[in-house]
Amino acid sequence: MNHPTTSELFEFVDNRVGKERAGQIGSHLTECAHCRRQVELERSTRRIVQSEPLITASERLAALVMIHVGTPARDPLALRLLGKLGSFVAMIVVLAVVGLAISNVSEVNDQPNNSSPSITHVVAPLSEVYEKAIQSLTSESSSMTQSFENTGDVQFWKTVFIVALSIGAVAAADRVLGRRFIKLRP
């Protein structure tokens, strides 16, 4: 049998030749290393192109398209989840801000030559509310509360507050700018 044409070999790979002709080409391939290699090259090429990583479009592109079509680049499910997450983060941020303010004012008031007792009067009720909030948050773990009170590890809690603040800031930026700093889906 003569060699099949290149065109026929491509169509053989694409399963576009008739059954009888496919049988003839198949028999030929068992005998002809040249044609067999051509078929293998074509199949390998297809496999490689399919398995190569795609070129990733930027997040900016998606955001711009959604702006053009008149809606932020986020689906309702993500928005709902972000709404819940946002509320939770907002609560943490409020606690963190109040906590930082109180701890700073308390430190100022602890100075020996502090001559502004009125600040203590202003802060005292707020401080009570804050401590009650912290106690209620940690009520299920009284030992933790005790540990907090005993060791007075203010630095640790400050770090926690700063981290919470950062999360809050990123979540707020995410909502305002319509970008996806926080990915809710893979």
Partner 1 sequence: MESLSDQEIISRVLGGNTRSFAELLERHKDKAMTIAMRMLRNREEAEEAVQDAFVRAFNALGKFEKRSTFSTWLYRILFNVCSTMLSKRGGPPQSISSDNNEGEQEDEIPDLSEIPDSIVEGDEFRQQVVESMNELPPLYSGIATMFYLDDLSYEEIVTITGAPLGTVKARLFRARALLRDAIVRRIGIKEFAR
Residues 6+ apart with CB under 8 A from 89: 164, 167, 168, 171
Burial of 51 (0-12, 13-18, 19+ CB in 10 A): exposed
Does 10 engage in binding with partner 1 (CB under 8 A)?
yes
CA distances from 29 to 48, 125, 169, 170 (A): 22, 90, 65, 61
DSSP tally for the chain: helices H, then strands E: 8, 0
Does 183 engage in binding with partner 1 (CB under 8 A)?
no
Site string for partner 1, 99-138 (x = CB under 8 A): ----------------------------------------
Does 177 engage in binding with partner 1 (CB under 8 A)?
no
Site string for partner 1, 25-54 (x = CB under 8 A): -------xxx-xxx-xxx-xxx-xxx-x-x
Does 55 engage in binding with partner 1 (CB under 8 A)?
yes
How far is CA 90 from its chain centroid?
18
Question: From the CB of 175, what's the least distance to partner 1, in Å?
Answer: 15
Does 57 engage in binding with partner 1 (CB under 8 A)?
yes
Judge whether 159 and 167 are in contact, CB under 8 Å. Answer: no
Q: How many residues bind partner 1 (CB under 8 A)?
A: 44
Q: Note the residues at the interface with partner 1 (CB under 8 A).
A: 5-7, 10, 14, 16, 32-34, 36-38, 40-42, 44-46, 48-50, 52, 54-58, 60-62, 64-66, 68-77, 79
